[in-house]
Structure 1
Amino acid sequence: MDLIEIGTALREGREQKGLTVEAVEEKTKIAPSVIIALEEGNSARFPHAVYARGFVRSYALLLGLDAQELCAHFSREYPVPKDNDQSESHAPHIHVKMHDSGSVVTTVRIAAILGILLLGALGWYVFDHYRSQVPEAPAPVEEELTPPAPPAEVLPSGSLPAPMTQMQEVAATPAEESAADTVATSGEALNATAETPPPAEQEVAPEPLQAAVKETVVEEVQEAKTEQPAAAEPVRERNLRIVAHSASWLQARPDDKILDYFLRKGETATINFSKSLSIKFGNAGGVKLELDGQPYPFEGALGEVKTLVVE
């Protein structure tokens, strides 16, 4: 059986039961234009093959015909196309252009994170490099300083006694011995003081350099915090509300998903999306649309297949 023979069988079955096209619409919720197209075998006005086969099955069951046999013949004559979007090239498209800043926000966020990580690594490298080069300051050693001895009296050259010879045995007086001991002790103390290097020069050297390194690291961390951009605003979710005034099938593609609907008269459907939305209507004249809560202009004839694209 071809499409015309299948349509003839449906029309004769309807007439035998005394049903009108409007009565069939009331019972099956199939648009009158689709019923007439099926009875005439006019494939140019058929909806998508999947929905058309379902309409043939419902129509045949209502008339008491062999629905399985009719659907088998119908599938051979009107198969499902490999590319489900072949008819979209002939359907009028309505585009709603919107600026999508998702890719820009992602790029800025990645660049900011890489910049912060690079600055942190550079600051740590500088700090570790200087810390390895600066020697640790030795612990201060508390020493008891010996008060300097009073300077010894220097006698004029004329008052020095003449050198003694081996033959002269002159006994020194106790006062002279005490003075000589005092001069010797004072000389040793002065020599010890002059030979001991001052430790203060070794303790003070590292402190300014270490303080400069810490200030450099603190400044770099503060600059990294200042350069960090503000968090990007989240992508706003949108919605399209569909109100059916007569039976209508539709296929929606919000973002990366595929959804199929069959709405009866008075039923509604709300589709949420964030980037793009494509909808194929099998009965474009039987629906009203609202985009983000506002009425959206969309015109079509009853039974007309039409595609809407919102970007």
Structure 2
Amino acid sequence: MDHVEFGKYLSQQRELRGLSRDEVSRVTKISPSLIAALEEGQVERLPSRVFVLNYIRAYATVIGLAPEEAVLRYEEVDKATPEPSPVVLERERRKRAWVALAVVLVVLGVGALAALVMTGKAPNPFVR
């Protein structure tokens, strides 16, 4: 079982009981987008694990499942999901750093050009 299958299990159990996502959201105070992410197995859209476990408990209680059984099912799925390797994490971190650096350099370049145009040391590129 993976996160998608676990989400399908939750949504099927909810539907069997005739409840909508909005009803579960209203009673649990969990946002509809997080309910959708949980039911669709979109782990990347979910907050940290401690919150997810509490959401699962609340969700299960509202739809009439045993909360701890639902949490155990989730933990089995979560443990089966491999963690990204340190190499992959470092690659992603470096990519974000390069993107941030590029954005800073573009902003500085535009600022420098604007300063030169405003002081009259460079012609305005927008005026003919």
Once the two structures are TM-superposed, the CA of residue 53 in structure 1 deviates from its matched residue by 1.0
Match of 2:31 in 1: 31
What percent of counterpart residues are identical? 36
Q: Cα deviations across residues 83-138 of structure 1 (Å, max 9, x unaligned)? A: xxx8xx67xxxxxxxxxxxxxxxxxxxxxxxxxxxxxxxxxxxxxxxxxxxxxxxx
Q: State which structure, 1 or 2, has the greater radius of gyration over its C-alpha atoms.
A: 1
Asked whether the 8 Å contact 1:49–1:78 carries over to 2, the reply is: no
Figure out how many residues of one structure are paired with residues of the other and give that number. Answer: 83
Tell me, in whole angstroms, the C-alpha distance in 1 between the residues paired with 2:18 and 2:47: 26
Q: Cα deviations across residues 34-65 of structure 1 (Å, max 9, x unaligned)? A: 10111111111111111011101110111111
Whichever residue aligns with residue 50 of structure 2, its letter is V
Asked whether the 8 Å contact 1:2–1:73 carries over to 2, the reply is: no
Once the two structures are TM-superposed, the CA of residue 76 in structure 1 deviates from its matched residue by 3.4
State the superposition RMSD in angstroms: 2.2
Tell me, in whole angstroms, the C-alpha distance in 2 between the residues paired with 1:69 and 1:2: 16
Q: Which structure shows the bigger proportion of residues in strand conformation?
A: 1
Once the two structures are TM-superposed, the CA of residue 67 in structure 1 deviates from its matched residue by 1.9
Structure 2 residue ranges without an equivalent (≥5): 84-88, 97-128
Asked whether the 8 Å contact 2:19–2:63 carries over to 1, the reply is: no
Question: Alpha carbons of 1:47 and 1:55: their partners in 2 closer, same or farther (altered >3 Å)?
Answer: same
Higher relative contact order (CA 8 A, sep 6+): 2
Asked whether the 8 Å contact 2:4–2:40 carries over to 1, the reply is: yes
- The aligned runs of 1:1-311 (5 Å cut-off) are 1-78=1-78
Structure 1 residue ranges without an equivalent (≥5): 91-311
Question: Alpha carbons of 1:2 and 1:66: their partners in 2 closer, same or farther (altered >3 Å)?
Answer: farther
Asked whether the 8 Å contact 1:6–1:41 carries over to 2, the reply is: yes
Match of 2:126 in 1: none
Asked whether the 8 Å contact 1:8–1:40 carries over to 2, the reply is: yes
1:10 alignment partner, SS class:
helix
Tell me, in whole angstroms, the C-alpha distance in 1 between the residues paired with 2:49 and 2:77: 10
Tell me, in whole angstroms, the C-alpha distance in 1 between the residues paired with 2:49 and 2:26: 22
1:78 alignment partner, SS class:
helix
Q: Cα deviations across residues 233-262 of structure 1 (Å, max 9, x unaligned)? A: xxxxxxxxxxxxxxxxxxxxxxxxxxxxxx
